[in-house]
Amino acid sequence: MLFVLFILCMALVITGCPHDENSEGSSAALIIISMDGFRWDYFDKTDTPNFDKLIDGGSRAAALIPSFPSKTFPNHITIVTGRYPENHGIIANRMYDPIFDKYYYIGQGSAPVLDGKWYDAEPIWVTAEKQNQTAMTMFWPISEAEIMGVRPSEYFVYDGSVSHNDRVDQLLKWLDYPSTKRPRFMSTYFSHLDNIGHRYGPDSEEVKSAIREMDRTIGRLVNGLKSREIFQKVNIILVSDHGMATTSSDSMIFLDDYINMDNVSVVDWTPVAAIRPKGDVEPIYEKLKNAHPKMSIYKKGKAPARLHYNNHRRIQPITAVADEHWSISTREYFNEGDHNEGLGQATHGYDPIYPSMGGVFVGHGPAFKSGLSGPGITNIHLYEMMCKILGLTPAENDGNIDSTRVFLSQ
């Protein structure tokens, strides 16, 4: 009997783990892909054979509703932490922190992005690494920073010049690693549609062509997975951080029509302006509060509860929020040089209540139902969902698993 057991054990040692990590539903790899600024209705704007394959074989939400403000960093970080911006600390793309006495800003080469002290919540790759799963990121906002002492096992500092194909090929390369090194969690990120959307507007031919370019890029991934015979075994989540709404030089709100700009410092501009009075808040607030019918003014702590935008030291004493299609600027800046052109054709950042701010959510693979078209969901719930798919115990967050259960196969 002992001899039989010994033979059985030896057989296990020789053949390795009976569960190949990429071939079992419960331990399949998860890839999350973000297409910045990909609005919920973009799939229907042009031919997208590869997106269609993922949607038809998987689950799709009517929209992925962003958190406020509907900007890139606040929402990418909400997606991977399950926390509202006021709880993860990145309440804008540009911020001032009164304790650090420092500014945060995004963009290639940004030093603060790399500094983990700015982040108050745990991203999914940190949760994974802490629980002995391997995470690798081919770009995702803040995945290049050390957070809570942890980094993805492999990661890249953001460089927008890396081609779309190279990003996909890196994911495939990671999937070719031997099972002991192979990541369970992977991410990648594409800014292409956001750039084109700002520049030409969401209804332009250029946006349609950018959608087709992203479709080809996803097709390359799908083909790579198919040639490895793992397309049905890997979980893929396709998301975006926000949508896009047209703007116009006829829909401008000029702060210098109402206040003396020497009395304030404006940390971030449009469509959500973060205003720091240099002296008393009250006189500035009084001048701004009913200044323009297309601009809401919130004194700190008084923003509507549904925006979850009250409780962080980086939220400034006055927040001005433009209505959809409107922009906040100053007459001085607008009239100077070509700045009105620099504003572009479209933007985001607006109240998530506008359908135009909605992004996308598609899930494909063993964790997801096939052929399901579900309701819109708020992006705070994706962290819990990813933890469930990966078998991780989630850190504290603002989401719940019930909100995404409809998309999951079990």
Q: Is 62 or 162 the residue whose CB approaches ligand AMP more closely?
A: 162
What CA dihedral angle connects 378, 383, 385 and 389, to 10 degrees? 160
Q: Least distance to ligand AMP from the beta carbon of 178, Å?
A: 28
Q: Is 241 in the site for Zn ion (CB under 5 A)?
A: yes
Q: Is 247 in the site for Zn ion (CB under 5 A)?
A: no
Q: Is 46 or 195 the residue whose CB approaches ligand AMP more closely?
A: 195
Stretch that binds Zn ion, among 15-23, 31-39, 54-62, 229-237 (CB under 5 A): 31-39
Q: Is 36 or 215 the residue whose CB approaches ligand AMP more closely?
A: 36
Residues 6+ apart with CB under 8 A from 8: none
Q: Is 82 or 141 the residue whose CB approaches Zn ion more closely?
A: 141
**Which of residues 36, 86, 144, 324 is near Zn ion by CB under 5 A?**
36
Q: Which of 149, 133, 143, 130 is nearest to 181 (CA)?
A: 133
> Regarding beta strands 264-268 and 272-277, do their DSSP bridges make them parallel or antiparallel, or are they unpaired?
antiparallel
Q: How far apart are CA 22 and CA 12, in angstroms?
A: 18
Task: Choose from Zn ion, ligand AMP, none: what does 23 bind? Cβ within 5-8 Å by kind.
Answer: none
Q: Least distance to ligand AMP from the beta carbon of 288, Å?
A: 24
Q: What value, to the nearest 5°, has the Cα angle with vertex 144 and ends 64 and 272?
A: 45
Residues 6+ apart with CB under 8 A from 341: none
Task: Choose from ligand AMP, Zn ion, none: what does 113 bind? Cβ within 5-8 Å by kind.
Answer: ligand AMP
**Which of residues 122, 129, 194, 351 is near Zn ion by CB under 5 A?**
194
Q: Least distance to Zn ion from the beta carbon of 257, Å?
A: 26
Catalytic residue among 15, 46, 72, 127: 72
Size of the site for Zn ion (CB under 5 A): 5
Burial 200-225 (b: 16+ CB within 10 A, else e): bbbebeebbebbbebbebbbbbbebb
Q: Is 141 or 363 the residue whose CB approaches ligand AMP more closely?
A: 141
Q: How far apart are CA 202 and CA 88, in angstroms?
A: 29
Task: Choose from Zn ion, ligand AMP, none: what does 248 bind? Cβ within 5-8 Å by kind.
Answer: none
How many helices (DSSP H) and strands (DSSP E) are in the chain?
12, 20
> Catalytic site residue 188?
no
Using an 8 Å Cβ cutoff, are 234 and 22 in contact? yes
Calculate helix-pair angle for 49-57, 205-227, nearest 10 degrees.
60
Q: Is 70 or 235 the residue whose CB approaches ligand AMP more closely?
A: 70
Beta-strand runs (E) in 68-219: 94-97, 102-105, 135-138, 154-155, 185-190
Q: Is 72 in the site for Zn ion (CB under 5 A)?
A: yes
Q: Least distance to Zn ion from the beta carbon of 193, Å?
A: 9
Q: Least distance to ligand AMP from the beta carbon of 197, Å?
A: 9
Element at 346 (helix H, strand E) = strand 346-347
Which pair of tokens denotes residue 54? Answer: 């993922």
Q: Least distance to ligand AMP from the beta carbon of 370, Å?
A: 32
State the residues that interact with ligand AMP by CB under 6 A: 36, 71-72, 93, 106-108, 110, 113, 139, 141, 158, 160, 189, 191, 194-195
Catalytic residues: 72
Chain positions contacting Zn ion, by CB under 5 A: 36-37, 72, 194, 241
